Chains A and B, each alone.
Chain A
Amino acid sequence: MATEPATETTLQGPAAWEAEAEREHVHGLGPWKLGLRRLRRNKVALLFGFLFVLLVLSCVLAPVWADKVAKTTANANHLSDVITVDGKEKNVVGLDGVPIGPQWWKADGKFFLGADRNGRDIMVRLLYGGRNSLEIGIVAAVITTILSIILGLVAGYFRGVADTVIRALLDVMWSFPVIILGVALGVALALGGLTIGPIKLAGDSLAIPIFIIGLVYVPYMARPVRGQVLSLREKEFVEAARAQGAGPIRIMFTEVMPNLASTVIVFFTLLIANAILLESALSFLGAGVQPPNPSWGTMIDEGVDRIATAPHLAIVPGIMLVLTVLSLNVFGDGVRDALDPRAKVRLER
Chain B
Amino acid sequence: MAKLGRRALVLLVACLSMFVIGACGGDDDNGGGGGGGAAKEGGSVTIAQTSQPDYLDPALSYTVNGWEPLSTVYSGLIGYKRANGQAGSQLIPVLAEDLPKVSKDGTVYELTLRKGLKYSDGTPVKASDFEHTIQRVLNLESGGSAFFLGIKGAEDYVKNAKAEADIPGIETDNKTGKVTITLNGPDGTFTNVLAMPFATLVPGDTPFKNLTKDPPPGVGQYKITQSVPNRQFVMEKNKLWPSDIPDDPPAKIDKITTLIVKNAAKQAQDVISGKLDYMQDPPPADIKPEVKAKYSDRYREVTTASTYYFFMNTRVPPFDDPKVREAVNWGIDKPGLARIFAGEVTPGCSFLPPGMPGYDEDIDVKDCPFGDPNKPPDLEKARQMIKDAGVDGMDVTVWSNNDDPSDKVGEAYADMLTKMGFNAKPKILDGGVYFQTIGNQKTKAQTGFANWFQDFPHPKNFMFLVDGASIQPTNNQNFGNVDDPEITKAIAELNKEPEITDEVAAKWKDLNDKLVERAWIAPYGHRKLATFFSERMDFDNCSNFSPVWNNDYARWCLK
Contacts and interface: CB of A to CB of B under 8 A. Distances in A.
B286 A98 contact: yes
B402 interface: yes
A80 interface: yes
A12 interface: yes
Given A45-B5, A290-B428, A97 B411 contact: no
Main secondary structure on B side of the interface with A: helix
Contacts of A306: 265, 284, 286
Contact of A286 (B4, B19, B263, B402): B402
Contact of A96 (B26, B263, B342): B342
A291 B530 CA distance: 28
Contacts of A315: 18-19, 21-23
Interface of A: 4, 7-8, 10, 12-14, 42-45, 48, 51, 75-77, 79-80, 93-98, 101-102, 113, 117-119, 191, 203-204, 286, 290-292, 304-312, 314-316, 319, 322-323, 326, 329-330, 333-334, 337
B327 interface: no
Interface stretch (B94-102, B237-245, B332-340, B540-548): B332-340
A292 B425 contact: yes
B5 A44 contact: yes
B531 to A, nearest CB: 19
B184 to A, nearest CB: 40
A343 to B, nearest CB: 12
A305 B1 contact: no
A203 B428 CA distance: 11
A97 B285 contact: yes
Given A305-B284, A316-B22, A96 B343 contact: yes
B288 A96 contact: yes
A80 B347 CA distance: 13
Closest 7 A-B residue pairs measured CB to CB? Answer: A44-B5, A97-B285, A79-B336, A97-B342, A315-B22, A308-B28, A77-B415
Nearest to A336: B1
A254 B343 CA distance: 68
Interface residues of B, number: 60
Interface in B224-276: 263-265, 269
A25 B558 CA distance: 83
Contacts of A8: 3
A14 B18 CA distance: 34
Contacts of B426: 291-292
Interface string B426-440: 111100000000000
Contacts of B3: 7-8
11 contacts: A80-B336, A96-B285, A113-B23, A118-B340, A118-B415, A304-B265, A308-B28, A309-B28, A316-B22, A319-B16, A319-B18
Contacts of B405: 117
B316 interface: no
Interface in B498-544: none
Contact of B286 (A42, A48, A97, A334): A97
Contacts of A48: 8
A306 B408 CA distance: 14
Interface string B369-411: 0000000100000000000000000000000001011011011
Given A7-B1, A204-B425, A95 B12 contact: no
A146 B12 CA distance: 32
Contacts of A191: 427, 429
Contact of A97 (B24, B28, B263, B340): B340
A69 B288 CA distance: 33
Interface string B10-39: 011001101101111111100000000000
Given A10-B2, A305-B264, A315-B18, A292 B339 contact: no
Contact of B287 (A94, A308, A329): A308
Contacts of A330: 4-5, 8
B22 A80 contact: no
Given A316-B19, A323-B15, A326-B8, A311 B25 contact: yes
Contact of B412 (A10, A43, A77, A307): A77
A110 B179 CA distance: 68
Given A304-B263, A305-B263, A319 B19 contact: yes
A4 B7 CA distance: 14
Contacts of A119: 336
Given A286-B402, A291-B428, A309-B28, A75 B415 contact: yes
